[in-house]
Amino acid sequence: MSGKRIRLLIWKEFTQLKRDPMLVRLLLLMPVIQLVMFGYVVAADIRHLSTAVVDLDHSVASRALTDQFASSGYFTINARPTSEDDLRPLLDRGQIQVAVVIPAGTQDHLDRGETAQIGIIVDGSDSQVSAVGSGYASQIISRYNRQVMTDAGVSVAAPGVDAQIRVMFNPTLDPINTMIPGLIAAIMMISLMAIMSQAVVKERESGTLEQMFVTPIRASEYLIGKLTPYAGLATLQMLIVAAVGILWFRVPFNGQLGVVLVGLALFMLTCIGLGLLVSLVSHTRQQAQQAMMFIMLPTMVLSGFIFPIASMPPLIQPLTNLIPLTFALEVLRGAFVKGSGFAALAPQLLILAGFAAVIFTASIIATRRRIAE
């Protein structure tokens, strides 16, 4: 392997990037797909939020309140921890989004005509879900109070259950705190796929690809020279977005830098592999642009970057597990907002590693076969 040939290939890629600005063309099919996706996803209400109930009272009142949450259609009770300390691991792993804590003595307070305080904990790493979830919880508590007063024959305001809502990880519910971590992954994906989708096809159109095949350049040298500039460009863009988000927008970073770097590195390999595969199967740059847009639109809409997955129809939600950006967002938001470590984010990192291994390896094999033909 020649270091000089690799340096010349890298220089050639940078020169081509400077001389060949990318043009994005919209086709008639794109607005149709966009209309269908936005019509189903945006109009849908957020329902069936994953909920945990910590019932420390075990009384008639606590069971009635739990039934109110379960029958509302907005909350799905997936866990019943025995203590409030068990909620943090469930929130870290993303298994629940809302937690209801019913303290001991709730029934006694209500029987004495006193106010009983109920804890509502929402995951603030997704500001839209947390805001909607806390609002629904407040409505259910208010409805329960009215029912209690009606059953008691009270026509005026009386002490009842008082919901003490506490937002974890993002107390201010500022959307920028969850948007910036997602933008780091989204910008990396857009830039890498836009450039990589043109990497091979533009050389095929200009005739330089065939000239490259008759030179002493090896397949490994070609791949390193082709991918290094784009990986460096994506890393630079990632650092700029992260720096602006943390320094200018004051987005808190509560996690471990290693988690972010590992997650982004795996996601970068996935994006490079997808872009390279698009470039290999396309015969013209127009086809590559169309294929990239066809991939990008469902990825942005269904990954949870723009709209919460909980608001999507049940038939569409399983499709989000086929999108690498879904798990990259969970890693970045978990690390930035929640401060989750490797243990809590291990499932998402393993899934990203699987995407990277399959997609990047497939693109490398396809490129080597194309050069060997």
**pLDDT (tens digit per residue) in 2-21:** 677 777 777 877 776 666 55
Q: What is the predicted pLDDT for the residue at 35?
A: 43
Pick the CATH number of 49-151 from 1.10.10.10, 3.40.50.300, 3.40.1710.10, 1.10.260.40: 3.40.1710.10
Tell me which H or E stretch contains 166: strand 161-168
**Helix or strand holding residue 39 (H, E):** helix 29-43
Domain range list for the chain: 3-43+174-371, 49-151
pLDDT tens per residue, range 81-127: 988 889 988 988 888 889 999 999 988 888 887 778 888 998 888 77
Q: What is the pLDDT of residue 44?
A: 53
Q: Is the model's pTM score more than 0.85?
A: no
* Confidence category of residue 324, pLDDT binned at 50, 70, 90: very high
Query: Residue 372 pLDDT more than 50?
Result: yes
**CA pseudo-torsion sign 336, 329, 128, 294:** positive
Query: Which DSSP string do the residues of 100-126 spell out, in sequence order?
Result: EEE-TTHHHHHHTT--EEEEEEEETTS
Q: Which residues contact 47 (CB under 8 A, 6 or more apart)?
A: 73, 74, 310, 311
Give the pLDDT confidence score for residue 208 in this predicted structure: 67
